């Protein structure tokens, strides 16, 4: 693997546009931003289908991020990406194809990961399916311990990456244990059935959203992002109604779902992950017409803030901060069970629930 600060240079005679492979050391500050890096022209060659992981290989973690993750403050989500990728030993590949910001977003993530201690990080940005067949880009993914896909337009990302040697390399990297993380569009593409577009709103309606083929890293789930912030409850619920075998997973901004190979999902970040289970639902999704609201009954709903662990395979809560310990039998206490000499703390008892007294409620301003 080439050292940090270098840009691969394999030039061939080719009619195709340039494919840029960028490293942090190749960025030069100019007027507060980074100058455009050199490009690498490659001849797109269709590679063979990526082989399935050998027996005994362990799949890696999949980490969908809901978009708008903190990039200037504590960077909780991005720090976790670095930790799971191997810390200072990580080799991170940033794929910025989805973004409309071009080199600007590539440079931003290269600098962010470098500031978090990653010394080996490279950015790639194929702009066509032919470029996604580049051996250089495939090699970058093969050598990485983590792939990070930026936000932007998931239809563009899927149209360029899915079913190409680059897409196959991402799936193979997941199969051998690499972390696959993505924010916004980069989160949606992890599903087999990818949310490609749709309208917002709380009410599920017929033809409210459209799905396309994703990378298939999470075959049991449909991922949606910017979930609470863009009011995408209805469209995900409509998709679950039409695909009841799939879990609907809506990820809020600056929030991530860390999904392990055994199906356990842990939530980190500022918001919540919403899980919709329609496996026992009744619905009119198959009789609705036009843009009719859908009847859906018996959908199980889970809203999961940071620290919660959820089993996607068993579709059940595993643990959550603040829940009481109910492992043992319930307690029944009588006067004889009170330790001798125990005196109640009258001040603590008086304070508990004091804000809920009638006098306190009367002093509250009336709601409008």
What per-residue confidence (pLDDT) applies to 12?
35
Residue 268: inside a domain: yes
What per-residue confidence (pLDDT) applies to 358?
59
CATH number at 72 reads: 3.40.50.880
pTM over 0.85: no
Residue 231: inside a domain: yes
The pLDDT tens digits along the chain (368 residues) read 333 333 333 333 332 333 557 777 666 544 344 333 333 333 333 333 333 434 554 899 999 999 999 999 999 999 999 999 999 999 999 999 999 999 999 999 999 999 999 999 999 999 999 999 999 999 999 999 999 999 999 999 999 999 999 999 999 999 999 999 999 999 999 999 999 998 999 999 998 999 999 999 999 999 999 999 999 999 999 999 999 999 999 999 999 999 999 999 999 999 999 999 999 999 999 999 888 999 999 999 999 999 999 999 999 999 999 998 888 898 899 999 999 999 888 777 777 766 655 565 566 565 54
Domain residues for the domain of 273 are 21-29+62-319
8 A C-beta contact, residue 251 and residue 273: yes
What's the domain count of the chain? Answer: 1
Residue 338: inside a domain: no
What per-residue confidence (pLDDT) applies to 348?
77
Residue 332: inside a domain: no
Give the catalytic positions in this structure: 184, 226, 253
Residue 313: inside a domain: yes
Residue 324: inside a domain: no
Residue 130: inside a domain: yes
Residue 173: inside a domain: yes
């Amino acid at each position: 693997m080439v050292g940090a600060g270098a840009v691969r240079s394999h030039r061939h005679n080719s009619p195709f546009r340039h494919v840029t492979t960028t490293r942090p050391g190749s960025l030069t500050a100019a007027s507060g931003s980074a100058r455009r890096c050199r490009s690498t022209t490659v001849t797109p060659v269709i590679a063979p289908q990526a082989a399935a992981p050998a027996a005994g290989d362990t799949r890696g973690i999949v980490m969908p991020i809901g978009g708008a993750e903190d990039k200037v403050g504590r960077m909780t989500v991005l720090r976790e990406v670095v930790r799971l990728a191997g810390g200072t030993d990580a080799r991170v590949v940033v794929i910025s194809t989805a973004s409309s910001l071009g080199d600007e977003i590539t440079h931003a993530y290269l600098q962010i990961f470098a500031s978090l201690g990653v010394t080996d990080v490279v950015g790639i940005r194929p702009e066509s399916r032919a470029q996604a067949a580049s051996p250089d880009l495939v090699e970058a993914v093969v050598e990485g311990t983590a792939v990070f896909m930026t936000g932007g337009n998931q239809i563009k990302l899927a149209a360029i990456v899915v079913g190409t040697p680059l897409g196959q390399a991402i799936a193979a990297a997941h199969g051998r244990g690499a972390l696959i993380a993505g924010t916004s569009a980069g989160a949606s593409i992890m599903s087999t059935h990818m949310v490609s577009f749709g309208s917002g709103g709380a009410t599920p309606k017929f033809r409210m959203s459209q799905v396309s083929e994703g990378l298939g890293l999470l075959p049991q789930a449909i991922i949606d992002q910017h979930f609470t912030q863009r009011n995408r409850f209805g469209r995900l619920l409509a998709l679950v109604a039409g695909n009841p075998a799939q879990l609907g997973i809506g990820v809020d901004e600056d929030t991530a779902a860390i999904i392990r190979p055994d199906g356990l999902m842990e939530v980190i970040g500022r918001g919540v992950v919403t899980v919709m289970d329609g496996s026992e639902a009744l619905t009119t999704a198959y009789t609705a017409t036009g843009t009719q609201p859908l009847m859906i009954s018996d959908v199980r709903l889970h809203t999961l803030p940071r620290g919660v662990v959820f089993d996607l395979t068993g579709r059940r809560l595993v643990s959550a901060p603040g829940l009481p310990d109910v492992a043992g039998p319930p307690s029944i206490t009588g006067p004889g069970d009170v330790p001798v000499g125990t005196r109640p703390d009258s001040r603590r008892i008086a304070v508990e629930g004091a804000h809920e007294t009638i006098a306190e409620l009367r002093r509250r301003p009336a709601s409008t």
